[in-house]
Amino acid sequence: MKASWKTGLSFGLTSGVITTLGLMVGLHAGTHSRAVVLGGILTIAVADALSDSMGIHLAEESRNSGPAGDIWEATLATFAAKFVIAGTFVVPVAVRPLDQAIVISVVWGLLLLTALSFFVARAQAIPPWKVIGEHLLIALCVVAITHAVGEWVQGLVEAE
């Protein structure tokens, strides 16, 4: 696979999982509203996918090390990966009770990160458990922190 596609797909998948899970968990903790969580997922799928793809585009341009076609490939791969991955989190929220959907989504996101981390580790010829452990730890920290932020915001709203 071309480096431009690897860059876009790996960044888009990682960002799609971590950003979407963080938003979902925080919004759920703060509102317990299916509509708010769905709105957040759809916003991430569009606005943040566009933002991340623009960020990759500018980062690749600033490196000034490849043809314009490769830059656009990385841009499009980032958008597509982020949009599709974020979109997959709509399914459990749409079809399951919200509390269950959040748990299902966290498990789904961690499985995606595990798979990507495994392939990255294999490509670099390093022990997969180290890469997987590091990436899952970061994702779980994001989930825990955004949950706490959501509860904190909920407490502020209730205090008004």
* Residue 10, helix vs strand vs coil: helix
**What integer best gives the mean pLDDT of the chain?**
94
pLDDT of amino acid 41: 97
Token output for 102? 């959040």
Given a contact cutoff of 8 angstroms between Cβ atoms, the answer to whether 21 and 143 are in contact is: yes
Give the chain's count of helices (H) and strands (E): 7, 0
The closest alpha carbon to 58, from 75, 45, 70, belongs to 75
Counting residues of the chain whose pLDDT is more than 70, the rounded percentage is: 100
The closest alpha carbon to 109, from 18, 24, 34, belongs to 18
The closest alpha carbon to 52, from 25, 24, 18, 91, belongs to 18
Q: 0.85 cut: is pTM over it?
A: yes
* DSSP letter (8 states) at residue 96: S
Token output for 66? 């490849």
Residue 1 has pLDDT above 80, yes or no: no
pLDDT of amino acid 50: 96
pLDDT of amino acid 4: 83
Per-residue pLDDT tens for 100-141? 999 999 999 999 999 999 999 999 999 999 999 999 999 999
Average pLDDT in the 21-34 region? 96
pLDDT of amino acid 78: 93
Angle between the 34-43 and 98-124 helix axes, to the nearest 10 degrees?
30
DSSP output for 25-46: HHHHHHH--HHHHHHHHHHIII
Handedness of CA 60, 63, 64, 70 (dihedral sign): negative
Residue 3 pLDDT level (bands cut at 50, 70, 90): confident
Alpha carbons 30 and 150: distance in angstroms, whole number:
4
